[in-house]
Amino acid sequence: METSTEMHEQVKEVLDKLRPFLLRDGGDVELVDVEDGIVKVRLLGACGSCPSSTITLKAGIERALLEEVPGVKEIEQVF
């Protein structure tokens, strides 16, 4: 079983890979917490108010995290 610190670092690495795509559209993502396999993020800039942000969150960020970080169950957006 991975420690939460290891999972936290892996999640940060995946978010860092996705960040250039978000920045290109005027947005960003901030990791808030990882708890029991649930990743909590805050969408910033243009992403925070974009009508497509839910799609970005679920189809883009969550899919990448599920594929690349063992133990991630889902992603939640916090405001």
- Give per-residue pLDDT as tens, 51-61: 888 888 888 89
pTM: 0.88
Query: Which distant-in-sequence residues (6+ apart) come within 8 Å of 45 by Cβ?
Result: 22, 26, 27, 28
Residue 75: Cβ within 10 Å count: 21
Return the CATH number at 10. Answer: 3.30.300.130
Which band of pLDDT confidence, cut at 50, 70 and 90, is reported for residue 2? low
User: Residue 15's domain spans which residues?
Assistant: 4-77
Contact present, 14 and 69 (Cβ < 8 Å): yes
Domain count of the chain? 1
